[in-house]
Amino acid sequence: MSKGTLFDKVWDLHTVTTLPSGQTQLFIGLHLIHEVTSPQAFAMLRDRNLQVMFPERTVATVDHIVPTDNQARPFADSLAEDMMVALETNTKTNSIRFFNVGSGHQGIVHVIAPEQGLTQPGMTIACGDSHTSTHGAFGAISFGIGTSQVRDVLASQTLSLEKLNVRRIEVNGTLAPGVYAKDVILHIIRTLGAKGGAGYAYEYAGSTIAAMSMEERMTLCNMSIEGGARCGYVNPDQITYDYLKGREFAPQGDQFDQAITWWQSLRSEADAEYDDVVIFDAQDIPPTVTWGISPDQAIGVDESVPTLTSFNTAEQPLIQEAYSYMDLAPGKPMLGTPVDVCFIGSCTNGRLSDLREAAKVAQGRHVAQGIKAFVVSGSEQVKQQAEAEGLDQIFLEAGFEWREPGCSMCLAMNPDKLQGRQISASSSNRNFKGRQGSASGRTLLMSPAMVALAAINGQVSDVRSLL
């Protein structure tokens, strides 16, 4: 087992007891909830006559089902409206802070908690959403849970869990121009596989990670789960502290200095022991796109769809399923693959720096004819900041739609969906069959800049061609 890592320290500090089963009862410092995975949990509490033990440690927002065009209430979708009402009622009844639409703080749960300073180093963070791994960017131990576990956290602020192993993933060197955090994580998943991280927390380290902004680190940690790792994190450093300083829920004044001392003490020791170590060279990472139906089916944008024989026999049935579903033949170059819809947004890449990079590509150019392209900010705050910088105008002039914040077409629970066999270039995180709202719809994952360029050219393109 690992020793002396941030994961070990934070785990130990939050351990309430060892349960008779041998599992750890772990205290959860911050619980985030949203409309999709919480209503049944509140119903279970009511059935059992249980109260919320620490209402001030849970924060709610609404993100998955909100329309990104007309947000007038009641929502056109009555089922979405029911979920909205349930969340409004449950948060009110249980005195839980709720960032509703129009509050100025609403947005994708994994975007708003960091931007409000709720997410802090050394915390344990749980949310009924697999992309909770995002918050690990701050040196928090954060992971997704299901609805019964949401109930457990509401009732007891704790969970029954088995400790994870820790794999250190070191990335060293300078990323080439046109290569982003999204490419780094897609490359890691491509190399270690979609189930390579099962049983592990990923500690991202090395000079490439140390040089990343907080938003880049969030993109990286966000997709840990696509690599099978329930949790991913980066040790906190000056970049973390500078990001947090002055944010609404961050410690203020003298407390902030005390906090830094504590946060520093949680960093993995230089002689920490890991269950596994994997090292990458930043120079080996190209702008990366997925070609298939699993996030590890990814290649450099200038590569061709891999041949069947490059995979082992156990993997081959899924690879064949991917060729057929995507209608992409082995050996076919990804460059030039026509796309129909281009989506910029999601908890992976819906933050201000993502929109800036996409806007740089869009500026002075125009979306190709017949392509639907839209930009969905990760939060109301991101949208306001982007508008203050004029990014909305750049996108609108280039022919992109500029939408209200939410999860949108990442998982298409709201009206934003692919139609039929449409193929999307998407800055989101999953290329699963049917993921984006059409049972036969297809998804190519890539960085926001590459999505913007795909929209301009109407086909998969290499962002390095603009450099």
Partner 1 sequence: MVQTMSKITSVSGPGLPLLGNDIDTDRIIPARFLRCVTFDGLGENVFADDRAQNNGTHPFDQPQYQAAKILVVNSNFGCGSSREHAPQSIMRWGISAIIGESFAEIFLGNCVAIGMPCVTATPDIVSQLQTLVATSPDIQLTLDLATQTIASDGFNAAVTLKEGNRQMFLNGTWDACGQLLHQSEQIKETAARLPYISWGKA
Tell me: does residue 74 bind partner 1 (CB under 8 A).
no
Residue of the chain from 2, 288, 294, 424 that contacts partner 1 (CB under 8 A): 294
Between CA 451 and CA 186 the distance in angstroms is 15
Q: What minimum distance in Å lies between the beta carbon of 125 and partner 1? A: 11
CB atoms within 10 A of CB 79: 10
The residue among 89 and 207 lying less far from partner 1, judged by its C-beta, is 89
Tell me: does residue 236 bind partner 1 (CB under 8 A).
no
Tell me: does residue 114 bind partner 1 (CB under 8 A).
no
Looking at residue 379, the DSSP 8-state letter turns out to be B
Q: Are 134 and 221 in contact (CB under 8 A)?
A: yes
The residue among 97 and 366 lying less far from partner 1, judged by its C-beta, is 97
Tell me: does residue 329 bind partner 1 (CB under 8 A).
no
Tell me: does residue 122 bind partner 1 (CB under 8 A).
yes
The residue among 31 and 383 lying less far from partner 1, judged by its C-beta, is 31
Tell me: does residue 195 bind partner 1 (CB under 8 A).
yes
Q: What minimum distance in Å lies between the beta carbon of 300 and partner 1? A: 22
**Tokens linked to 23:** 């599992």
Q: What minimum distance in Å lies between the beta carbon of 389 and partner 1? A: 28
Residue of the chain from 80, 189, 298, 371 that contacts partner 1 (CB under 8 A): 80
DSSP H stretches of helix in 199-293: 207-210, 214-222, 238-244, 254-265
Region 344-403 residues binding partner 1, contact defined as CB under 8 A: none
CA dihedral 401, 404, 408, 409 (to 10 degrees): 0
Tell me: does residue 186 bind partner 1 (CB under 8 A).
no
Tell me: does residue 146 bind partner 1 (CB under 8 A).
yes
Tell me: does residue 181 bind partner 1 (CB under 8 A).
no
The residue among 154 and 361 lying less far from partner 1, judged by its C-beta, is 154
The residue among 150 and 361 lying less far from partner 1, judged by its C-beta, is 150
Tell me: does residue 311 bind partner 1 (CB under 8 A).
no
Q: What are phi and psi of 245, to 5 degrees?
A: -55, 125
The residue among 38 and 337 lying less far from partner 1, judged by its C-beta, is 38
Tell me: does residue 254 bind partner 1 (CB under 8 A).
no
Upstream peptide bond of 333 is cis (omega within 30 degrees of 0): no
**Tokens linked to 389:** 């910088």
Residue of the chain from 9, 34, 64, 110 that contacts partner 1 (CB under 8 A): 64
Tell me: does residue 144 bind partner 1 (CB under 8 A).
yes
Residue of the chain from 2, 9, 14, 351 that contacts partner 1 (CB under 8 A): 14
Between CA 397 and CA 353 the distance in angstroms is 19
Residue of the chain from 114, 117, 139, 350 that contacts partner 1 (CB under 8 A): 117
Stretch that binds partner 1, among 384-392, 398-406, 433-441, 446-454 (CB under 8 A): 433-441
Residue of the chain from 8, 63, 115, 152 that contacts partner 1 (CB under 8 A): 152
If DSSP codes are grouped into helix, strand and coil, which group holds residue 388?
Answer: helix
The residue among 169 and 259 lying less far from partner 1, judged by its C-beta, is 259
When computed from its CA atoms, the radius of gyration of the chain, rounded to whole angstroms, is 21
Residue of the chain from 137, 171, 334, 413 that contacts partner 1 (CB under 8 A): 413
Stretch that binds partner 1, among 52-60, 183-191, 302-310, 452-460 (CB under 8 A): 52-60
Residue of the chain from 7, 11, 27, 323 that contacts partner 1 (CB under 8 A): 27
Pairing of strands 124-127, 423-426: unpaired
Q: Are 157 and 45 in contact (CB under 8 A)?
A: no
The single-letter code of the amino acid at 397 is: E
Tell me: does residue 118 bind partner 1 (CB under 8 A).
yes
Nearest to 378 by CA among 310, 427, 321: 427
Please report where in the chains the tokens 């007038």 appear, as a residue: 72
Nearest to 60 by CA among 87, 41, 84: 87
240: left (phi over 0), alpha (psi -120 to 50) or beta: alpha
**Tokens linked to 68:** 């990104």
Q: What minimum distance in Å lies between the beta carbon of 204 and partner 1? A: 18
Contacts of 444 (CB under 8 A, 6+ apart): 289, 290, 291, 334, 337, 339, 423, 424, 425, 426, 431, 454, 460
Q: What minimum distance in Å lies between the beta carbon of 357 and partner 1? A: 26
Sheet of strand 401-403, all strands in order from the earlier edge strand to the far edge: 401-403, 372-376, 341-344, 423-426, 442-445
The residue among 147 and 384 lying less far from partner 1, judged by its C-beta, is 147
The residue among 40 and 71 lying less far from partner 1, judged by its C-beta, is 40
